[in-house]
Amino acid sequence: MKRKKRWLKIAGGLVVFLLIIDIIAGVFFYKLAIERGTKDFLSGNSDLEVSAETMEVFTQGDWRTWADQQPFEYWQMESFDGLTLQGYFLEAEEPTNKTVVFAHGYLGRARDMALFGQYYYEELGFNMFTADSRGHGRSEGDYYGFGWHDRLDYVKWIDRIIEELGEDTEIILHGLSMGAATVLMTLGEDLPDNVKLAVADSPYSSVYDLFDYQLGRMFNLPSFPILPTTGMVTDIQAGYSFKEASALNQVRKAEVPILYIHGGADTFVPTEMTKLLYENTSTGTDMFIVPGANHGESIVLDREGYLENMNAFFDKYLY
């Protein structure tokens, strides 16, 4: 009897110990990925390596100078949870009723989307709006929403754009990486008819799926029990869970056409995630995969194909 009690105490102690370790891991990964701040763990990550050509365009491209020279209007908005968010609007040189609304990637900022915005502005003649997502750039927030709370922010930005530009405004959403997931999550909401279509470049299917993949690839760790615990910490600290933050569930409710774009050699956000999203989209849709392109570099490695597919999609569903 004494031996049985002793083993029960040992087993109970081990369970408590493992539970404490799991909680510590959950807090650690929340601070690592979700909490606002510098993310050194991404430095030198081979999954984010891009070609020399791409790196040159990203860091020294003419689009950077172009963005600095444009007379952007500074817009502010209060989010549903009281954060002050920063947006930037650029009116087209010639009157138009078309506006592209951009969403940038993880750890990025609004200005990054000038890589795409310059083409929309100079070649297509669109108005341009881009915003610092919550927790990024000049927007407030002490956590990264990975698209979920951001979707509600974008619904409000869309309403603001229509209020400023008029009821005949036609809106195109264009997002990259986390921004692509943000766009897709936004499409699952009740949007005005002004939103005509979306371009999603390198999206993930859900936050849970992304972290499940990254936990194994980057840290060689199983998703259970770490991911559920990290999700619980995120729910407590940031107010959302990994599983509810699902672009896949949202696109099933989408009512506008979606153009999916992804690099065929993307090892940071697997190309299969875009294929899954594509297969679950019931509206007009198309998909363009760039062979050999890693995460987010499709616009550089096959710029001609990227723009041709985008313009063909616009010809089909916008004009």
More confident: 57 or 3: 57
Give me the count of residues in the chain: 319
The rounded distance, in Å, linking the Cα atoms of 268 and 180 is 14
What are the residues facing 290 on neighbouring strands? 263
Q: Please compute the mean of the pLDDT values over residues 90-105 and round it to a whole number.
A: 98
Query: From 3.40.50.300, 3.40.50.1820, 2.60.40.10, 3.20.20.140, which CATH number describes the 50-206+245-317 domain?
Result: 3.40.50.1820
Q: Please compute the mean of the pLDDT values over residues 278-283 and round it to a whole number.
A: 97
Q: What is the pLDDT of residue 10?
A: 58
Q: What is the pLDDT of residue 41?
A: 79
pLDDT in tens, 201-211: 999 999 999 99
The rounded distance, in Å, linking the Cα atoms of 297 and 54 is 6
196 burial type by CB count under 10 A (0-12 exposed, 13-18 middle, 19+ buried): middle
The rounded distance, in Å, linking the Cα atoms of 143 and 132 is 13
Domain boundaries, the chain: 50-206+245-317
Q: What is the pLDDT of residue 1?
A: 58
Q: Please compute the mean of the pLDDT values over residues 228-252 and round it to a whole number.
A: 96
Which parts of the chain fold into alpha helices (H)? 2-29, 52-60, 62-69, 114-122, 148-165, 178-187, 207-219, 226-238, 247-251, 271-279, 298-301, 303-317
CB atoms under 10 Å from CB of 88, counted, come to: 24
